[in-house]
A and B are shown apart, each in its own frame.
Chain A
Amino acid sequence: DTGVSQDPRHKITKRGQNVTFRCDPISEHNRLYWYRQTLGQGPEFLTYFQNEAQLEKSRLLSDRFSAERPKGSFSTLEIQRTEQGDSAMYLCASSLQFPRNTIYFGEGSWLTVV
């Protein structure tokens, strides 16, 4: 069990550029989640997948955001035309059936939009 891996850990980008984050969940976890956390706040739910199906999306996930999990394993979160308000930590997590099983979080990907 190597835990949830996220890449890159830090990303600085200019406003208007596109960025992509990758998440590798714990193997055999069929559920994968994305959360966003800004400084001084708790994490906010963005979306979650069960296997390759995206089952739930938050209203926070604007049209500029897209998440995929093409083969039910790793996932990517892409932000197009980044804005300064997108600066945050993007947390990925995975689990087996929830809430009976624990949601395990990765260490997050920090995004700074300048």
Chain B
Amino acid sequence: AQSVTQLDSQVPVFEEAPVELRCNYSSSVSVYLFWYVQYPNQGLQLLLKYLSGSTLVKGINGFEAEFNKSQTSFHLRKPSVHISDTAEYFCAVKVGRTSGSRLTFGEGTQLTVNP
């Protein structure tokens, strides 16, 4: 069974600083990878996804992520964060065709941007 590990439960940063949220997955077969953001009392919004092709994926709000197959990682980065980026971020994986349409989520990383 696939699993997703988000290595940091909380990441505090100052405004305009760069940030990296780390995600590792376990799977020996092809995967599709996703990052979602959740603001308080709201549902999840897709930031970006990797299905195939270029390993560097650009998403909304200036976020990007790099798929590293050898390290089974999909870390999320932003070069300069804003106060409004404060939210919970979830990494998720879908494994090939064997898992149907289910997404497996990590436990989340709370990003707090301080002034």
Interface residues of chain A, those whose CB is within 8 Å of chain B, are 4, 31, 33, 40-45, 48, 55-56, 58, 91, 93, 98-100, 102-108
Chain A residues whose C-beta falls within 8 Å of the C-beta of B106 in the assembled complex: 42
Interface residues of B in 43-82 (CB under 8 A from A): 43-46, 49, 51
Interface residues of B in 96-110 (CB under 8 A from A): 100-108
Query: Distance (Å) between the CB of A96 and the closest chain B CB?
Result: 11
Q: Which residue of B lies closest to A49 (CB)?
A: B101
Chain B: interface size category: 20 to 34
**Which one of B32, B42, B92, B101 lies within 8 Å of A56 (CB-CB)?**
B101
Q: How far is the CA of A100 from the CA of B50 in the complex (A)?
A: 10
Inter-subunit contact A40/B44 (CB<8 Å): no
Query: Distance (Å) between the CB of B74 and the closest chain A CB?
Result: 14
Inter-subunit contact A99/B102 (CB<8 Å): no
B90 CB within 8 Å of chain A: yes
Known: A40-B108, A41-B107. 15 other contacts (CB 8 A): A4-B43, A31-B101, A42-B4, A42-B106, A43-B44, A43-B103, A48-B102, A55-B100, A58-B102, A93-B44, A98-B101, A100-B51, A102-B46, A104-B46, A108-B43
Q: How far is the CA of A41 from the CA of B109 in the complex (A)?
A: 10
**Which one of B36, B51, B104, B108 lies within 8 Å of A99 (CB-CB)?**
B51
Q: How far is the CA of A104 from the CA of B90 in the complex (A)?
A: 14
Instruction: Pick 16 A–B contacts, CB within 8 A, sort by A.
Output: A41-B108, A42-B4, A42-B90, A42-B92, A42-B108, A43-B90, A43-B103, A45-B102, A45-B103, A45-B104, A56-B101, A91-B44, A99-B51, A99-B94, A105-B44, A106-B43
**Which one of B49, B100, B105 lies within 8 Å of A43 (CB-CB)?**
B105
Chain A residues whose C-beta falls within 8 Å of the C-beta of B41 in the assembled complex: 107
Chain B residues whose C-beta falls within 8 Å of the C-beta of A103 in the assembled complex: 46, 103
Inter-subunit contact B49/A48 (CB<8 Å): no
**Which one of B4, B36, B100 lies within 8 Å of A48 (CB-CB)?**
B100
Chain A residues whose C-beta falls within 8 Å of the C-beta of B107 in the assembled complex: 40-42
Q: How far is the CA of A20 from the CA of B105 in the complex (A)?
A: 25
